[in-house]
Amino acid sequence: MKNALDRLDRQIILFLQEDGRMSSSAIARQLNVPVRTIRHRITRMVERKDILPTVVINRQSFEYRMTVDIYCQVELNKVEKVAEMLKEFHEITYIAYSFGDQDLSVQAVFKDGEKAFDFVQKLSNIPEIQRTKTVLVPSVVRAAYEWIPPEADFVEYPGDLGQAF
């Protein structure tokens, strides 16, 4: 394992996922460990890029209420070119290469159905895109930023003497 994280690190991550602004002292109180330990752990995880502090924008605050997944079948050997072109569309929040009968997976957000329709029409004007499949996402159950590896992927915390974090 590249950067072995332990169960204490996992608990720190869970607290930060719940509230990214939670202070080290508040986390230390919750976990009953020294504040210095928490600060050191967070600094280490950030420096090693085990965690990536960022800001997540609430799309609803900007009235982007419609999310769609768009699967694109692209002309052979043009996938990278199309992916680069798609990066220019402000509506797109996610672009990934994919396997199977679709070459690119795209997620986009819109203020209404008319704007979504217009956007899909714009995609159809890109000659390298042979076909698209659009799926409306009525509700996100778990966002990508909420993911965490299972506890089994974390090593034992050396200071764990039967404590249930």
CATH (domain of 21)? 1.10.10.10
Q: Which of 52, 22, 20, 47 is nearest to 35 (CA)?
A: 22
- Please identify which residue in the block is written with the tokens 């290469």: 97
Q: What is the distance between the alpha carbons of residues 35 and 119, in angstroms, rounded to a whole number?
A: 50
Mean of the per-residue pLDDT values for the chain?
92
Is residue 49 domain-shared with residue 64, that is, in the same domain?
Answer: no
Asked if 40 and 63 sit in the same domain, the reply is no
Domain count, the chain: 2
- pTM equals 0.80
pLDDT 10s digits, 106-119: 999 999 999 999 99
CA distance 90 to 67: 13
Over the stretch 37-91, which tens digit does the pLDDT of each residue have? 999 999 999 999 999 999 989 999 999 999 999 999 999 899 999 999 999 999 9
Residue 145: both structure tokens together: 């930023």
